[in-house]
Chain A
Amino acid sequence: MPDAPSRSAPPALPAAAPGAESPQAGTGTVRRLPVAPVIGGLILLLAVSVVVGVALGPVQVPFSHVLSFLGAQIRGGVISAERAGEFQIVWDIRLPRVLLAAVVGAGLATVGVAVQAMVRNALGDPFVLGISSGASVGATSVIVFGAFAWMGLYALSAAAFLGALGAMVLVYLVAATPRGLAPLRLVLTGTAMAYGFSAVTTILIFQAPTGEASRSALFWLLGSLGGVTWGSLPIAVCVVVLGIAHLTLSAGRLNALSMGDQTAMTLGVDAQRLRRELFVVAAATTGVLVAVSGAVGFVGLMMPHLVRMLVGADHRRVMAVTPLAGACFLIWVDIGARMIAAPQELPLGVITAVIGVPCFVALMRRGYTFGGQG
């Protein structure tokens, strides 16, 4: 406990009342928002974000049309012939893209919670496990050399997922010891592997036969939801829902794990088993999401911290809020990606960084400690 001496309260007199021991009582008192209104607000925001996300783009569709299309699809209705083109944009192109943005945002933010709890480190995000970088190797080899060409449209996703899977196995094998997965070893192994994988990715891009191929590989590496269809959704939805369900059910165990492995075990939580479960959930979710959207950074790192600042560190609350917050955030990031330099699309990773870095700095300057002693 390196913090103990410097933070010790001044010696209290024997007769001192209990409160007198902390002369700064109140300064450390935590103000937190009640969870229910936050969830309600976020659900509302999510609904609004979906409609706005569908309406905005190179072709603007009025909100009223978007709502009537959605109503017609849900309740069964008729779309007039002159609006068929608009409907097609909304239903076939924009809606799956917006929904996938929500799913990817929810998933990445949730994985961030899982990884931060697993490695007991505020810096944890889906990328420190090296899994995203592994997926990048797979995807780059498809884009640059046309590997897995026989799989057609699914080659990119399949290769990215295989890359993620390979990275996950490799990181696990290297990091695991007979006594289990140690948090620090896991972070260091993942980070080291990530460097290795990015080196491979870079070599692949340099070897690209055409400039166009290396350009699209770079674009994919920073994340994009362009070209998404309804077909991209089902697997991503299933994996993300399962991951959220697992973590929500494990919220109490995640709290215990934050107290340290030994304390967790005295609370009846098998720390090693929980860490293995979290590793699998995080790796599988990251693999699937990176396969459909590319490697979108910063969401998994920042969302959990933002949520903790609002509602506190209790994982029951964190898990109730984080997926919604991540979903809303990534919808708006994707809107930005389409709109800022229209008709050019920007990579998602650029926007998350542009929003994320100032947010991070602001958080720190406001005295948020990211869980450490700041």
Chain B
Amino acid sequence: MNVDLQRVSVRIAGEYLVRDLSLHVAAGEVVGLVGPNGCGKSTTLGCVYRTLRPAAGAVLLDGEDLRTVSLRHSARQLAALTQDGHVEFDFTVSEVVAMGRLPHQHALGRHDEHDRAICDRALHRVDAAHLARRSYLTLSGGEKQRVQIARALAQQPRVLVLDEPTNHLDVRHQLEMLSLVRRLGITVLMALHDLNLAAAWCHRLYVLDGGHIVASGPPTDVLTPELLTGVFGVRAHIVSHPATGAPQLLFDSPADAVAQPAAAAAQ
């Protein structure tokens, strides 16, 4: 399923958080959104998973304008991992995952065998089947994140939108999370803070700064020393991953970034 943002602008309290932003995610593609804090990543994702309404522009799923369909309808096509942190009430893991079936159920509809099988599969896919009967509140941050992914998968979405899916995860779970996302085979749009993870796991990247897209393309083309200095204000060396060939960044410390050129000039 294709995702298109066409000249989307979001204004909150009179200020543009995102302005005239257009992007395209092709079916089956894993696309990353990167940029410094406050650049508009979460705002952009919010327009796609519909917690924010663009002041102008349109978001299309396979050409269908989201403004013209109900929340329930889009929830059957698109699932999201948001930044909602706090869950009130002591749900079990399987109850949390079962909520993913909600957009497919009627108000009095029962959670039947079919739903249960889908939820079990979703928990298996994130390697969390053993947690099913646990209380969600007692899970570690990483386990919670995986359960939320399972909940999103239980929606049987064709598009997955992830806001910082590797937050709170240790390095092994970060890698497992992103390799799972790649293996799903569905369209994925995600915001990532870690540029090395973005470079290793995304087909394409969009770089946001001040609510605008400043660069886009495959990681190798996008992540250049010039862009990193201009957008993130850091100096980095770009090396190729010895095994996968993906671009990986080695950062200079901020002090070096200023001091080195001066030292070089002095010599």
Contact = CB atoms under 8 A, between A and B. Distances in A.
Interface of A: 1, 3-5, 7-9, 11-12, 14, 18-19, 21-22, 25, 27-30, 32, 116, 120-122, 249-250, 252-253, 255-256, 258-263, 265-270, 308, 312-314, 369, 371-373
Given A12-B172, A267-B102, A371-B89, A260 B130 contact: no
A7 B71 contact: no
Contact of B75 (A21, A22, A266, A313): A266
Contacts of B168: 1, 4
Given A9-B142, A265-B51, A266-B80, A30 B70 contact: no
Contact of A252 (B46, B107, B129, B133): B107
Given A1-B141, A18-B127, A261-B51, A266 B82 contact: yes
Q: Select the residue from B89, B91, B102 with max chain A CB neighbours within 10 A.
A: B89
Interface stretch (B93-101, B178-186, B196-204): B93-101
Contacts of B85: 1, 260
Contact of B102 (A29, A120, A256): A256
Given A25-B134, A263-B148, A268-B70, 7 more contacts: A3-B137, A4-B168, A22-B130, A30-B134, A263-B80, A268-B74, A314-B91
B143 interface: yes
A121 B155 contact: no
Contacts of A369: 90, 137
A259 B137 CA distance: 12
9 nearest CB pairs, A to B: A260-B84, A268-B75, A4-B141, A28-B138, A268-B72, A262-B82, A268-B103, A313-B89, A266-B80
Contact of B90 (A250, A267, A269, A371): A371
B132 to A, nearest CB: 9
* Contact residues of A: prevailing secondary structure: loop
B88 interface: yes
A42 B96 CA distance: 27
Contact of A30 (B71, B79, B92): B92
Contacts of A260: 82, 84-87
A255 B95 contact: yes
A30 B51 contact: no
Given A22-B143, A28-B139, A258 B134 contact: no
A263 B90 contact: no
B170 A11 contact: yes
A262 B100 CA distance: 14
Interface of B: 46, 49-51, 70-76, 78-80, 82-92, 95-96, 98-100, 102-103, 105, 107-108, 127-131, 133-135, 137-144, 148, 152, 155, 161, 168, 170, 172
Q: Select the residue from A18, A258, A263 with max chain B CB neighbours within 10 A.
A: A263
17 contacts: A3-B137, A7-B140, A8-B170, A120-B86, A255-B95, A255-B102, A259-B96, A260-B86, A262-B80, A262-B82, A262-B83, A262-B84, A263-B80, A266-B75, A266-B161, A308-B90, A371-B90
Contact of B142 (A8, A29, A268): A8
Contact of B84 (A14, A19, A32, A261): A261
Contacts of A3: 137, 141
B86 A1 contact: yes
B130 A265 contact: no
A266 B79 contact: yes
A342 B241 CA distance: 84
A261 B137 CA distance: 18
A359 B135 CA distance: 23
Q: Select the residue from A7, A18, A21 with max chain B CB neighbours within 10 A.
A: A21
Contacts of B142: 8-9
A266 B161 CA distance: 10
Contacts of A4: 140-141, 144, 168
Contacts of B70: 268
Contact of B91 (A8, A120, A268, A312): A312
A308 B89 CA distance: 8
B92 A312 contact: yes
Given A30-B135, A263-B82, A256 B99 contact: yes
B100 A259 contact: no
B155 to A, nearest CB: 7
A4 B131 CA distance: 17
A32 B137 CA distance: 16
B140 A313 contact: no
A263 B136 CA distance: 15
A19 B70 CA distance: 40
Contacts of B138: 7, 27-28
A270 B75 CA distance: 11
A317 B216 CA distance: 49
